Amino acid sequence: MKLVRFGAVGHEKPGLLDSAGQIRDLSAHVKDINGETLSPAGLKALAALDPSSLPLVSGNPRHGAPVSGISKFVAIGLNYADHAAESGMPIPAEPVFFLKANTCLCGPNDPTEKPRGSTKLDWEVELAAVIGTRARYVSEAEALNHVAGYAICNDVSERNFQLERGGTWTKGKSHDTFGPIGPWLVTRDEIADVQKLGMWLDVNGERRQTGNTSTMIFTMAKCVAYVSQFMTLLPGDIITTGTPPGVGAGMKPPKFLNVGDVVTLGIEGLGSQRQEVVAA
């Protein structure tokens, strides 16, 4: 299934895509696409529905982030060897992870704000997993059983705030709109091999990133299992798993985003996103 949330900011409704790619309204069956809905029982109930029996959503409504009510937004850093190299950092011996503020979560096509004082606004196409069942001290072998589905994430970053202002990376990763997710959440059963997905990102129509999840240093299963050793993952939580090379900070000379720039990105089987940069 492809699960969506549609409508104005703060007033999104739950839905799913039918075989024709049209949104069907799930409001009569679930309150929202949240941890409860993404549980095995919740997904089983949705899978039993006949999409044609659900109300058809007309027009082209805004897509919100395809999950709500998350308890945490975890990001894995330096998870592609060639991205670590372009960043001038060694390949990590263990996964590097940090938290993005939940308030950065937004829809896949919402504008990206350039923060006040920003000088190095950057992009990162990433594969995100959304947790479906509580995960605490899970093994790598069982980790993906705790995943409800996958989605695209642009791990928008302000490199000055992230690397030159002291403290942790979180301050450069958490501004409002720095976490576009979607356009939909694709349930785990629809992805044959999560480690064989092509990914790309363009800025103003110019290709900047081309990659594949096959080149991740730490697999999705490893990432989920590893994070669960340090914190309990709850249904609805997001883990975004690193980016391939081609970020602005790694270009020679570096190139960063300015107001008016348009970023488009996509991952095989998961759709695409589009964001225009606006002033905060």
CA gap 199, 46 in Å, rounded: 28
> Measuring CA to CA, which residue among 106, 43, 105, 111 is closest to residue 71?
105
Taking only the tens place, the pLDDT of each residue in 177-225 is: 999 999 999 999 999 999 999 999 999 999 999 999 999 999 999 999 9
pLDDT for res 38:
98
The predicted pLDDT at position 67 comes to 98
Closest CA to 220 of 239, 237, 198, 246: 239
- Identify the DSSP state of 24: E
Parallel, antiparallel or unpaired: strands 179-180 and 105-106:
parallel
User: Can you give the pLDDT at residue 79?
Assistant: 93
> Which pTM value belongs to this model?
0.96
pLDDT given at position 146: 98
Which residue stretches of the chain are H helix? 40-47, 81-86, 159-163, 220-227
pLDDT recorded at residue 81: 81
One-letter identity of residue 80: Y
Ordered by where they begin, the domains of the chain are 2-53 (no CATH), 73-279 (3.90.850.10)
d(CA 43, CA 28): 15
Q: Which residues of the chain have pLDDT under 70?
A: none
For residue 84, the model assigns a pLDDT of: 77
